[in-house]
Amino acid sequence: MNLANDADLIAASNQALASRQDDSSYRGWTERLSTHIGKVQDATQEEFWTEAFQRELWESEAISATGQGFVPTAQFWTDETIIDTFWNARILDADREDQVFADELQRLWDSAADRVRQLGSRVPRLKLVRAFAALQPRHFTSLADFSALLRVAKALDVGKARDGMAVLHQRILDRLDAVWPEIQVPFEEPPELARMKLPWLLLKSGDRQAGDGMTVEAGDTPGQIQLRPLPASRRRRGMLAMAGGVGSILAMLQFVKDGCTREDFREHVRSVNPKLAPSSVNTHINALIAEWGVLAAEGDRLLLTPRGAAFLETGDPEDLSDWLLTQILGFDNLLYSLRQGPREQKTVISDLQQVNPGWTTNFAPTALISWFRAMQLVDFTVDKKLVLTSRGEEWASRIHWEPEQLAKTITAVNALSAPTLDVTPASLGRPNIDQLRANFPKNLVFSRTLVAQLDAALWSNDRRHFVVLTGLSGAGKTQLACSYAKALWNEASLSKSGGVYVLPVQPGWHDPSALLGYVNPLSTDRYVRTGFLNFLLDAVRDQERPYTVVLDEMNLSHPEQYFAPLLSAMETGGHIELHAQDDDVDEIPPSIPYPANLLIIGTVNMDETTHGLSDKVLDRAAVIEFWEIDIDSYPGWATGELDVEHVAQLKSLLKKLGTALSPARLHFGWRTVGDVIGYVRAALTGGAIEFREAVDQAVYSKILPKLRGEDSDRLRKALTDIADLLREAEYVVSLRKVAQLSDDLTRLGSARFWR
């Protein structure tokens, strides 16, 4: 719905009004509205202050129909402060300058809302709008629901969420006034009433074009606003458990009040919950965007949505009710079932598992129930049954539909209990090679062929996405893995931080506990989590996107030992066992399905400190070996701060050294190239060492220490060729060391830099 253009607004208004020409229910609304407003405007001060009059002012549905206000208002009917505020609103001088009038009306609105809070009640904003609309009908529309009002304001391009309620109504009406001479009111309806009701008619027309993100719509009864539920198949499945509950969400939203970068928000989330793993921080942010609808991403910045801004201002979960009831699977089912009366928790969990057949454990249902308790929608009776609170009853009364369940053939993708999916590249929205490379950091240069090899190896099996990168140390194996993982997300706002977890493997990992955690032996109701476990749980919850773990130097320990549960599950498609208890421990289920959206990239360096890979690992992984690097393509040349002549000399030397060492598998990668450039730059900056001497020392300290091996034709030739290069270039320090290595090789049968 886009009505910013005058012509579009006029056409839409005339069409909406004309469609009601023969609508008897619409005519009835006009009559009820006229009678109610006339009564409020004509009341004497004495009549106005009576309890009966105030009751009708709060409870009348002449302006907007049933289905909106649920907060009891009886205590307000006799409160002198509220009545006095209402009276002042009714007699407000309409001759004031427009902005002054709007500001004063907003002040009175705020005063009434503040008094309601002082009385210990939640603000019945929907009913408060109806009261103010009757008090000032020329300055309020018939839209009592804030979400609906904001939607119309945005369509007219006249308002934002931060605008006050009274101000937002006035701006909509001012926009209509600008084109009113061109609007044709049918059947001699009083223009002031048509003007008041027109925003509802425009909303009703716009509902035909509404997308999945719309949570409210105009109902069939004139003036009615009702929730617009998504089908079960298109809802978010499950809600992420967050330590601190509603309080944590508010603390996180406070930081975003004026907008912030994603990275700054990540740091803030960590400060709110220091125990969160990096991957879980990303998941929390995504949950606030997709599960709660309180944040929106614009590039690398995060902003509050209108819903988030309202929730932050009031701290009242009521501001989230439209989203949760219409967008989250199981939310309406749980409230709907408890409308029938108290139920045992195990029965409620069982019913929720019927809603989503993928919830095969009680993890996701329990998390949902925990959020219901945190928002004070349910509580336990003395006999430990779940029962709706008064707030829960209000929310449940808004469900005008019969909640749906997922068909058993549809698999759940967001809950921990989801079954294994045969995820295909297409279902994950896998970009093509050129799109992937475009998302790589600009300072990294990997060949199109190499990226294509990694991509093909990862997706060669529907479930086993496992690749081992081996080869030259410092050639960028870890950087390649991380860059590919981030590029896979294919979203500019997420690609810098989401979807990848780098796990530096440690020597001495002989069992899976370092990865999967364990039950605390001193307190068996506590589970000791790890960053990898949190990342794995994120992958199971969010199987619509790929999650990549990078096992950095994976052969520092035996992978077949510390990685055994995942190696087994990826082969069989079974579950990953986490602990041996019958029930969840500290929200960790006994097992989780192997997520088919999990990508594993291991990096391997083969030397005397590492272990070889067993057949159990190799049978499940694709191995990519790359030894050659293009020294000319190293991105650090442009930022190395060396003059053109020095760069040319250094490139020539390093390429010749690499060629000489390559047959013996002793050449070097980009890390060494970068270190040599850095050493030479630092030496020249110091002013005490000349270029030739600096290069000589850099070769000695960064390249020669890796020269080692038993006597062989290849090693002898490599040392001879290097000696010739160094002699020609007059690098005397490095030449002396190579001569020692050659002598050791001849006399001892082996050579080693360190001896």
Kindly report the number of other CB atoms within 10 A of residue 638's CB atom: 9
Kindly report the number of other CB atoms within 10 A of residue 475's CB atom: 22
User: What single DSSP character describes residue 462?
Assistant: S
Identify whether the C-beta of residue 726 lies closer than 8 Å to the C-beta of residue 734: yes
- Which pair of tokens denotes residue 747? 């006399």
**Confidence check: pLDDT of 739 > 70:** yes
pLDDT value, residue 1? 67
pLDDT value, residue 453? 79
User: One-letter amino acid identity for 109?
Assistant: W
Higher pLDDT, 560 or 387: 387
Kindly report, residue by residue over 391-441, the tens digit of the pLDDT: 899 899 889 999 999 876 433 333 454 444 444 554 566 778 887 777 777
pLDDT value, residue 745? 82
**Confidence check: pLDDT of 724 > 80:** yes
- Per-residue burial over 73-98, b = 16 or more CB atoms within 10 Å of its CB, e = otherwise: beebbebeebbebbbbbbeeeeeeee
pLDDT value, residue 34? 94
Kindly report, residue by residue over 470-490, the tens digit of the pLDDT: 866 666 778 888 888 888 876
pLDDT value, residue 463? 82
Question: Lowest mean pLDDT: which of 174-183, 301-310, 554-563, 703-712?
Answer: 703-712
Q: Percent of the chain at pLDDT above 70?
A: 88
pLDDT value, residue 408? 65
Q: Percent of the chain at pLDDT above 90?
A: 25
Q: What is the CA radius of gyration of the chain?
A: 34
Mean pLDDT to the nearest integer, 35-57: 95
Kindly report the number of other CB atoms within 10 A of residue 740's CB atom: 13
**Confidence check: pLDDT of 189 > 90:** no
**Confidence check: pLDDT of 517 > 70:** yes
pLDDT value, residue 414? 39
Mean pLDDT to the nearest integer, 131-137: 94
Domain annotation for the chain: domains and CATH numbers: 6-224 (no CATH), 234-396 (1.10.10.10), 433-626 (3.40.50.300), 633-752 (no CATH)
Higher pLDDT, 412 or 295: 295
User: One-letter amino acid identity for 279?
Assistant: S
Strands 465-471, 598-604: pairing is parallel
**Confidence check: pLDDT of 555 > 90:** no
Kindly report, residue by residue over 140-173, the tens digit of the pLDDT: 999 988 888 888 988 898 877 667 788 889 899 9
Mean pLDDT to the nearest integer, 583-595: 82
pLDDT value, residue 405? 92
**Confidence check: pLDDT of 607 > 70:** no
pLDDT value, residue 46? 95
User: What single DSSP character describes residue 236?
Assistant: E
* Mean pLDDT (the chain, rounded): 83
For 617, the enclosing helix (H) or strand (E) is: helix 615-618
Which 3-state string (H, E, C) describes 473-539? CCCCHHHHHHHHHHHHHCCCCCCCCCCEEEEECCCCCCCCHHHHCEECCCCCCCEECCHHHHHHHHH
3 state SS of 577? strand
Question: Lowest mean pLDDT: which of 39-53, 133-147, 529-543?
Answer: 529-543
- Angstrom distance (rounded) from CA 589 to CA 417: 9
Strands 343-344, 328-329: pairing is unpaired
* Integer angstrom CA distances of residue 581 from 207, 356, 506, 519, 641: 50, 24, 28, 9, 60
pLDDT value, residue 444? 66
- Angstrom distance (rounded) from CA 367 to CA 243: 11
Mean pLDDT to the nearest integer, 240-263: 88
pLDDT value, residue 448? 80
pLDDT value, residue 417? 45
